[in-house]
Amino acid sequence: MVRNVKEVGPQRYRETFGRYFEDFVVGDVYEHRPGKTITEYDNHMFTLMTMNTHPMHFDAQFAAASEFKKNLVVSPYTLALCIGMSVTDTSQKAIANLGMDEVKFTAPVFAGDTLYAESEVLAKRESASRPGQGIVTIITKGFNQDGVMVCTFKRNMLIPARGHAVEDKVGNY
């Protein structure tokens, strides 16, 4: 995580997060911490909030009869968690997420698993139509506590250059 500190007064500092467009370097890998141990409650709540009615995610008897023998964590939660872990490093200053591609779930996730994520910068270019902004492409990979990759996806973000972020324009932010 990029945790910068800016002076906001004499002997007074405010923590800031994220990267400006200039700070991204193609090939750099950011390891996102802390990880998150998924609870059964997390899985059930996300499943119910998103109206996913597949019993594999919340019916223990049903899941016990499957090849996994227990409930699977609903895959959109795995994706959301990995995106969330990456925010402070990659998109805290973003103007917009422009899209995601190649989302893959490569191994099952269960309650009790602890997930970690990392993102690699694949490409960056200045915006032709939006001065002071650029497009950054990353690939994020999620891993469980055993180092098994459970999720991967590419994401394109519109990132401001230094001096062009909303926080640069808000006096007390």
Third-level CATH fold of 3-39+74-169: Thiol Ester Dehydrase; Chain A (3.10.129)
E runs forming strands in 65-131: 96-105, 114-126
* pLDDT tens string 73-92: 999 999 999 999 999 889 88
Tokens representing 61 are 């008897």
Q: What is the pLDDT of residue 3?
A: 52
Residues ≥6 apart with Cβ < 8 Å to 66: 56
Q: What is the pLDDT of residue 17?
A: 78
Q: What is the pLDDT of residue 72?
A: 96
Q: Which residues of the chain have pLDDT under 50?
A: 1
User: Where do the domains of the chain lie?
Assistant: 3-39+74-169
* pLDDT tens string 49-62: 999 989 999 999 99
Indicate the burial class of 158 (C-beta count within 10 angstroms; 0-12, 13-18, 19 or more).
middle
Q: What is the pLDDT of residue 146?
A: 98
